Amino acid sequence: MAYTNNQLKLVYGDGSLGVQGHGFRYLFSYERGGLESLNINGKEWLYRVPQPTFWRATTDNDRGNGFSRKSAQWLAADQFSACTKVTVKIDGQVIELPIAPLNNRYTGAETAATAEIDFEFTTNTLPTTTVHVNYLVSPNGAIKIAVHYLGQADLPELPVLGLRLVMPTSATGFTYQGLSGETYPDRMAGGIPGTYHIKGLPVTPYLVPQDCGMHMQTQWLKITRASTQNNADNDPVPFSLTIQAASQAFNFSCLPYTAEELENATHHEELPLPRRTVLCIAGAVRGVGGIDSWGADVESDYQISAAQNIDFDFTIVPER
């Protein structure tokens, strides 16, 4: 069928909500707990559903001042937090989760001006807290993703608070408008505003692999890939995904590895073959510190208190 310009086509599946439009097809999975498929022009952009991310690979300074030990709960939360609630809103109205037999009433011809799906994650910390990942899809396919972290005073400081999107194959590079180089909240004055293209997915070669590649204060980011895992896809033409700032500039890192993969290596040659693209959009970034590497903490302005709510958002825009 032909799509209208101002309506999304909805598919009320048994395990997921399909949201479609011209050139895009998204699957919000109730059982996987998130956006399972971000398919744009036939290319899949997600390897697994996006997860809140709470961990950064221990930096030398984090190790020296005991931060990772004190905040180790967040390493578990980074890997094992679970989606505990899904809420669906169609055209701004909450509907009961449309699974069988509720969805038997649909015909396959449903449309809407907006679809909003909210996934609540509960951390396996003591005590627990929640993170909501809210997707609001517009008829043009743009997805505004808003993340809300609920502050919990009894938890240790956070290494990072973000959303991790893992893509099935390695990007050939990315372009962004923001600050030059690798920047962190306490090390960004030297970043020169501009538009920068990064070839491949470089991992900064610190002697011990550790958190790296953060880009603060970004207006937009365009990631380009040239390969998929789809056996039927023989199209070699590179394709891109664009992420735009929503209510404020965003921070990101775009690497071939998760924090855990980096954490496990003591040398770069121990890292696995680069195979995926791991995009972390970070709402709160801990500074790197620098006073010394054997005890001094990051300055207080650049620590991430777990007690405060953290909100951030950004928009994924399909390229046409």
Partner 1 sequence: MIPDLKWLDDPEVFRVNQRPAHSDHYFYKNSAELATGQSSYVQSLNGPWQFRYSATPQERPLDFYREDFDARDFDMIKVPGHIELAGYGQIQYINTLYPWEGKTFRRAPYTLSDQLTPGIFSAAADNSVGSYLKEFDLSPEFIGKRTIIQFQGVEEACYVWLNGHFIGYAEDSFTPSEFDLTPYIRSGRNRLAVRVYKYSTAAFIEDQDMFRFSGIFRDVNLLALPAVHVDDLKMTPSVDPDFKSGRFELQLKLSGAALPTAQLKLALFDQNNQLLAQQTQTAAEKVTFEPIDFPKVTLWQPEDPYLYHLQLEVRDQTGQLLEVIPYDFGFRRVELRADKVIYVNDQRLIINGVNRHEWSAETGRAITLAEMKADIATMKANNINADRTCHYPDQIPWYYLCDQAGIYLMAETNLESHGSWQKMGAIEPSVNVPGSNPHWLAVVLDRARSNYETFKNHTAIIFWSLGNESFAGEDIAAMNQFFKDSDPTRLTHYEGVVHAPELKARISDVESRMYERPANIAAYLEDEPAKPFILCEYMHDMGNSLGGLKSYIDLLDRYDMYQGGFIWDFIDQALFVVDPLTQQKVLRYGGDFDERHADYEFSGDGLLFADRQPKPALQEVKYYYGLHK
Pick the closest to residue 111 from 241, 184, 2 (CA basis): 2
One of 54, 184, 250, 314 touching partner 1 (CB under 8 A): 184
Interaction between residue 260 and partner 1 (CB under 8 A): no
One of 11, 208, 249, 265 touching partner 1 (CB under 8 A): 208
Interaction between residue 204 and partner 1 (CB under 8 A): yes
Neighbours of 304 (CB within 10 A): 25
Using CB under 8 A as the binding rule, the residues of this chain from 65 to 104 that contact partner 1 are none
Interaction between residue 289 and partner 1 (CB under 8 A): yes
Q: Which helix (H) or strand (E) holds 56?
A: none
Residue among 196 and 239 whose Cβ is closer to partner 1: 196
Interaction between residue 196 and partner 1 (CB under 8 A): no
b or e along 135-168 (b: 16 or more beta carbons within 10 Å of the residue's beta carbon)?
bbbbbebbbbbbbbbbebeebbbbbbbbbbbbbb
One of 40, 86, 146, 212 touching partner 1 (CB under 8 A): 212
Using CB under 8 A as the binding rule, the residues of this chain from 263 to 282 that contact partner 1 are 267-269
Interaction between residue 299 and partner 1 (CB under 8 A): yes
One of 126, 189, 232, 237 touching partner 1 (CB under 8 A): 189
**Hey, is 74 helix, strand or coil?**
helix
Q: CA separation (Å) from 278 to 51, 203, 229?
A: 11, 12, 16
Interaction between residue 285 and partner 1 (CB under 8 A): no
Q: Is 295 exposed, middle or buried (0-12, 13-18, 19+ CB in 10 A)?
A: exposed
Residue among 127 and 190 whose Cβ is closer to partner 1: 190
Residue among 35 and 288 whose Cβ is closer to partner 1: 288
Interaction between residue 59 and partner 1 (CB under 8 A): yes
Q: How many CA atoms lie within 13 A of 36 on its CB side?
A: 12
Contacts of 145 (CB under 8 A, 6+ apart): 50, 133, 134, 135, 136, 163, 281, 313, 314, 315, 316
Residues within the interface to partner 1 (CB under 8 A):
59-61, 64, 180-192, 204-208, 210-212, 267-269, 287-294, 296, 298-299, 302
